Amino acid sequence: MEALDMKGGAAGAQLGSQLADLHLHNLKLRDPTGASRMSASSEEAGDGTDIVYEKRFGFSVPTCCGFIPQDNEWCDDWQVFFARKLDFQIKKLQTESSGRSVGEAVELWPQLQREVPRLFEGASDVTPSLLHGDLWGGNAATVQEHGASIPVVFDPASFYGHHEYDLAIAAMFGGFSKEFFSSYFEKLPKAAGWESRHQLYQLFHYLNHW
């Protein structure tokens, strides 16, 4: 594997545009008639060189967000899949809190679960997108290629999910410019209720860094 001489400063307009392209890729694989072209096994078709549309949420193997493994078992419903992710985080806090008070989070979780469907009223038809999964500033950089700075991302926690999810942690710790977000939203505009779902997706990462 080739080592990359990576530098800082990746999170600008070019990366925002390329991230949107990644999120749109699976949608573009869907048949124009709306029918799925996904193989029954949800794996690459033919000789392994053809990429096919994935209609479910999850991934074929577990991945890790930081050092925490993620349950990527396939699911047909994004809200169910994401609720499962949050439930895992809540239960993990209960068992590994090391003296920290997590009582309020545990008490509020059932209330939030009842509110989740309302948060998706503006985005009821979620198409799976291949996500980076842990796109904070420390996982983005640039490399020089033919005299130009090319953005690269690394250390993914990938799965197929709602494209809005990737922007949650990107907005939490800095490192991503206004141009990054503007370029992204030019290709994937915000849907109704985006701000509330943005906070919901950030909750996963706040729990992950509790």
User: Which helix (H) or strand (E) element contains residue 70?
Assistant: strand 68-70
Catalytic residue among 47, 134, 155, 166: 134
The tokens for 187 are 């290709």
Rg (CA), the chain: 18
**Catalytic site residue 125?**
no
Give CA 40 to chain center in angstroms: 24
Q: Tell me how far apart the alpha carbons of residues 147 and 92 are, in angstroms, rounded to a whole number.
A: 47
Contact yes or no for 44/52 (Cβ under 8 A): yes
Helix residue spans in 55-177 (DSSP H): 78-96, 103-119, 166-170
Q: Tell me how far apart the alpha carbons of residues 167 and 153 are, in angstroms, rounded to a whole number.
A: 14
Residues marked active site are found at 134
